[in-house]
Amino acid sequence: MIKYNEKNRLFKLSTADMTYAIKIAPGNYVAHVYFGKEIPDEDLTWLLRLDENPFTPETNARDKAVYMDTLPFEYPCLGTGDFREHAFSVLDKDGMSTVDLRYKSHIIYNGKPKLKGLPATFADENKAQTLEITCVDEYCGIEVVLIYSVIENYSSVIRSVRIKNNSTNPVNITRAMSMALQLDSDKYDMHTFYGSWARERHLERSKLHHGKQSIDSLRGESSHQHNPFFMLVSHTADEKQGEAYGFSLVYSGNFFAQAEVTQHSKTGVTMGINYVDFNWLLEEGEEFQTPEVVMVYSSSGIGNMSRTYHDLYRNHLIRSKFKNTRRPVLINNWEATYFDFNYEKLLNIARDASELGIEMLVMDDGWFGHRDSDNSSLGDWFVYEKKLSPGLPQLVSEVNKLGLKFGIWFEPEMISPDSELYKKHPEWAIQVKGRPLTLCREQYVLDYSQKEVRDYIYEMLRKILTSANIEYVKWDMNRQLTEAGSCFLRADRQREIWHRYVLGVYEMMERFTTDFPDILLENCSGGGARFDPGMLYYSPQIWCSDDTDAIERLKIQYGTSMCYPPSAIGAHVSDCPNHSCGRITPFETRGHVAMSGTFGYELDTTRISENDRQMIKEQIKQYKKYCHLIINGDQYRLGNVFSDISYDAWLFISKDKTQALLTYVQVLAKANERSKRIKLDGLNPDWYYKNDVNDLVLSGSALMNGGFNFENLWGDFKSKQVYFTRVEK
Ligand code: DGJ
């Protein structure tokens, strides 16, 4: 999969139908040659258009700056004439920021390395190969290893960078992106995923223009506002055709991602930890590892790119033993009660839920300290006796007796000013000593850069988790970081706090998943502010958004599905009028939309109509029948609510293509339009499929080229599901 051609000094990475090529260019610079559809030829050196610039350092150094400013560097540095966006910069002992990285050596080996302290994709040794190119700057003694891995059968290159200080002097890293590359064209549209609380991952498509277009987070988490994922696609690309490049950062903190169209109309891409307010001191012999970027290439549209990510993340990123299995259908009490619950109320919900076939009760926020609203007790992870008397073990055991599992909510990274913990340890909050702390949701963030803080919180969590039969944890994180500083770090290490915080979170999650592999973990951050691949390494599912309205969710889940598998998308049926936007939608539609994610309920079943209650039983039956398609199948998006809000449709197909589930949502009805034809995708054109609506048997070809008719459509927000199975004809 990875070859080095000594004569041409060319590395060729090939897998599935993709080729990625790198050349050691004149001057020993590591240059990008090609990233795209598979090319069988051995020699690709001609793709590096050195003739565009005659002033190569080896042949004519009189204008080396021009060479530096046009060579498509794999890892561009600051200071020696490349004026495009750089990926790497330092501050050396003399206060200098210039870096000049030259190729020194390389190794190619089987397997994919783990990244110390960081989540990362993984693969069996015989299924992956890795190339490490070592570059050095002889002046400041910095060594940079560019790491590239490919995994068999995936059109993907996974990149990260390891930096080592080989000098005897300390060096400050001021920027260390995970990757950079130069595409040989600017004819792309950039897709980014913006949002806000309760409006995550809304797709925005815009044509690239000369100059820089970027997304980022400086909030300490990947954020509601932008997701650490973007795509570059050819102007005419759609779900089924055209070129698409995806860039996904496996990281949960501050990030930066940019596309820059240069003076010569090429497109430079950079992605990694945000360099703003970042500084990492590297003492003699120390190393720094960047998180990795998973790049995916598709020559056949955006849909194919998404399916590659879905498979890659399901098979090579998510570790949880639950990832390929049906998760218990849960009921969460958040939208049912908010903070207003007690032992009896929870038991009542569980009692009723058990009659309807629900399989797990999740007790959300408000069970600890003296928490009756969001203004206290974070950090006091002991049971609020007044609410839960006679106690948590008793509650769990009663719930279990009803045949339900029990799950619990934590927000382990936070501390309320009104808490016993804050009284004892105000210095454990992230802060700039001497400055007032900024409140957000009446809480501060714990200094997870410190092991002592993590140990203390972990011990409290452990006590609760071992006190009763708890089988699920929702790990929430409800505010961003401000006054980013630590009472414990040295002045010259204070700017490391952002990254150290994230490393601390990862270390806690690693401990948790190691000690409690049988507990199903769901990540969450004020809805979906930390819906990123870093979190998926620890939890097989993430709460997608606090907006549970089925219609708003169409956009949120559509955007999320661009990179993340439906099996990871936390989705629940909630009450109406919806708590986020007041919309009233049919119970059936809410079920169909939630079923396209992890599926569960978030309402008080005792307060809804008998009709809806009965529908819960039906929905659970359907979900059990179809969930293997949703969890392990292929997803095809057949509508696009961002360009046409009148409807949405999507399809899940089993890997063997013998079964498919089609969901259609009529968002806004139209007069004189009582039926809608939807063309399917991904079926075997030569096989025959029978549907469960009218038993009609049609070929895959007919369903994909002709379409399936949804009839008798009437009213807004209605939805329908059709199940297809292969039959012999
Ligand atoms: C934000 C989450 O997204 C909600 O589901 C809920 O758990 C609240 N936090 C609780 O405070």
Which protein residue's CA is at the shortest distance from atom 1 of ligand 1?
526
Half-sphere exposure for 417 (CA within 13 Å, toward CB): 10
**Ligand 1 atom 10: the closest Cα is on which residue?**
365
Least trusted range by pLDDT, from 161-165, 549-553, 667-671: 667-671
Q: Are 409 and 375 in contact (CB under 8 A)?
A: no
Q: Of 197, 331, 365, 547, which is best to mutate to test ligand 1, by the most ligand atoms within 8 angstroms of its C-beta?
A: 365
Cα–ligand 1 centroid distance for 526 (angstroms): 6
Q: What angle do CA 417, 420, 423 make, to 5 degrees?
A: 60
Query: Average pLDDT of 412-431?
Result: 98
Q: Please identify which of the residues 186, 546, 549, 648 carries the catalytic annotation.
A: 546
Does residue 60 carry a pLDDT above 90? no
pLDDT (tens digit, 9 = 90+) per residue, 708-718?
999 999 999 99
The verdict on the CB of residue 364 being under 6 Å from ligand 1 is yes
Q: The tokens 């068999």 sit on which residue?
A: 152
Under a CB-based contact definition with an 8 Å cutoff, are residues 591 and 574 in contact? no
Confidence tier at 580 by pLDDT (50, 70, 90) = very high
Average pLDDT score over residue span 614-630: 98
Residue 137's pLDDT band, with cuts at 50, 70 and 90, is very high
The pLDDT assigned to 61 comes to 74
Centre of ligand 1 to C-alpha 359, Å, is 21
Higher per-residue pLDDT: 54 or 505: 505
pLDDT at 27 over 70: yes
Residue 62 has pLDDT above 90, yes or no: no
* CA–CA distance, 703 with 636 (Å, rounded to integer): 14
What is the pLDDT confidence band of residue 58, given thresholds at 50, 70 and 90?
confident
User: What is the per-residue DSSP string for 329-371?
Assistant: PEEESHHHHTT---HHHHHHHHHHHHHHT--EEEE-S-SBTT-
Q: What is the mean pLDDT of the chain?
A: 97
Burial of 125 (C-beta count, 10 Å sphere; 0-12/13-18/19+): exposed
334 lines ligand 1 (CB under 6 A): yes
Where residue 56 falls among pLDDT bands split at 50, 70, 90? confident
The atom of ligand 1 lying closest to the CA of 602 is 5
Q: Model confidence over 507-529: pLDDT tens digits?
A: 999 999 999 999 999 999 999 99
Query: Where residue 57 falls among pLDDT bands split at 50, 70, 90?
Result: confident
User: 301 C-alpha vs ligand 1 centroid, how far in Å?
Assistant: 36
| Region 351-372 average pLDDT | 98
Q: Given pLDDT bands bounded at 50, 70 and 90, which one contains residue 135?
A: very high
Q: Report the pLDDT value the prediction gives residue 54, as an integer from 0 to 100.
A: 66
Mutation test residue for ligand 1: of 442, 478, 580, 603, the one with most atoms within 8 Å of CB: 478
**Tens digit of pLDDT for each residue in 192-225?**
999 999 999 999 999 999 999 999 999 999 999 9
pLDDT tier, 692 (very low <50, low <70, confident <90, very high otherwise): very high
pLDDT of residue 321: 98
Q: Tell me, using a 6 A CB cutoff, whether residue 366 lines ligand 1.
A: no
Residue 546 annotated in active site: yes
Q: Please report the pLDDT score of residue 51 as a whole number.
A: 66
* Range of weakest confidence among 45-54, 591-600, 624-633: 45-54
Instruction: Give the pLDDT score at 106.
Output: 98
User: What is the pLDDT at residue 53?
Assistant: 67
Confidence of residue 553 (pLDDT cuts 50, 70, 90): very high
- Which of ligand 1's atoms lies nearest the C-alpha of 409? 7
pLDDT tens per residue, range 258-310: 999 999 999 999 999 999 999 999 999 999 999 999 999 999 999 999 999 99
Locus of tokens 């970081």: 481
pTM for the structure as a whole: 0.98
Q: Can the peptide bond before residue 417 be classed as cis, meaning omega within 30 degrees of 0?
A: no
